[in-house]
């Protein structure tokens, strides 16, 4: 094994899709939401790898993101996609990353998955709103959007800290769809895995044709939009995004 890979992102960034794509590669074993950082200090290398293997089943992925697998060859990269909770945990307990290194005993590489923040926050807040509605909890779209914006700021602040020390590749969700060949090749080179043509074609035949634009599904106040534009100007990995329609809001 060459590398252990970590995934950093906000909810609704397309992380499950990319995880499924990598898990279908002949050299990768990537689990979906095994929450390994929570109790990393209690794992051995063998027990951690067993947990990850258990989480690679196609039943761990939604039907909409399932990619046909290429038969496994030598596994050189393993990892776990636990969602934005990894970032929240590392914000509070940065030592967890060092403990992970001690357990896996190989270099760690990180993939930052980003999507137009207006789409991310609209999807995220709408999901939160609908969950609370089903539970009978009184809320509004504006309240939920304010809440997830605050958490989104924390996530990006944590990413900024991690980028100073971690070997991190930024992958734009929109480019996984609109520039698939180049994006897959870039990820394959970063992780030093096979750019298998059957794998590439399986991805091309499985992934939807256009990025999903969700930003208009919730109402935005001018202040909320202004906060997001400030974040876009602050962080390099968000540069080029806006509320416009082109490439899912990605002008780069």
Residue 129, helix vs strand vs coil: helix
Which pLDDT belongs to residue 62? 62
Could you tell me which CATH class the domain 3-249 is placed in?
alpha beta
Q: In b/e form, how buried is each residue of 160-192, taking b as 16+ CB within 10 angstroms?
A: eebbeeeebebbbbbbbbbeeeebbebbbebbe
pTM > 0.85: yes
| Average pLDDT along the chain | 91
Which pLDDT belongs to residue 171? 97
Average pLDDT over residues 209-222: 92
Q: How is the beta sheet containing 108-114 ordered, strand by strand?
A: 28-32, 77-81, 3-8, 108-114, 167-172
Contacts (Cβ under 8 Å, ≥6 apart) of 245: 213
Q: Using 50, 70 and 90 to split pLDDT, how confident is the model at 60?
A: low
Query: 28-42, 52-66, 140-154: which has the highest mean pLDDT?
Result: 140-154
Tokens of 123: 């999807």
């Amino acid at each position: 094994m060459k590398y252990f890979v970590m995934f950093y992102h906000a909810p609704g960034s397309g992380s499950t899709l990319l995880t499924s794509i990598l898990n279908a590669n002949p050299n990768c074993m990537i689990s979906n939401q095994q929450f390994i950082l929570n109790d990393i200090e209690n794992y051995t290398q063998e027990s951690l790898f067993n947990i990850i293997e258990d989480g690679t089943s196609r039943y761990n992925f939604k039907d909409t993101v399932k990619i046909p697998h290429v038969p496994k060859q030598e596994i050189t990269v393993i990892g776990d996609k636990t969602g934005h909770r990894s970032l929240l945990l590392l914000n509070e307990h940065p030592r967890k990353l060092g403990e992970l290194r001690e357990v896996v005993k190989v270099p760690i590489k990180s993939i930052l998955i980003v999507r137009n923040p207006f789409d991310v926050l609209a999807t995220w807040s709408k999901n939160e709103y609908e969950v609370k509605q089903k539970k009978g909890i009184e809320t509004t779209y504006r309240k939920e959007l304010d809440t997830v914006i605050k958490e989104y700021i924390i996530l990006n602040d944590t990413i900024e800290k991690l980028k100073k020390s971690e070997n991190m590749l930024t992958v734009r969700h929109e480019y996984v769809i609109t520039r698939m060949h180049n994006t897959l090749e870039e990820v394959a080179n970063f992780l030093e895995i096979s750019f298998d043509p059957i794998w590439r074609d399986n991805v091309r035949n499985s992934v939807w044709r256009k990025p999903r634009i969700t930003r208009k599904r919730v109402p935005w106040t001018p202040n909320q939009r202004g906060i997001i534009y400030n974040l876009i100007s602050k962080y390099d990995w968000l540069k080029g995004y806006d509320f416009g329609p082109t490439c899912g809001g990605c002008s780069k």
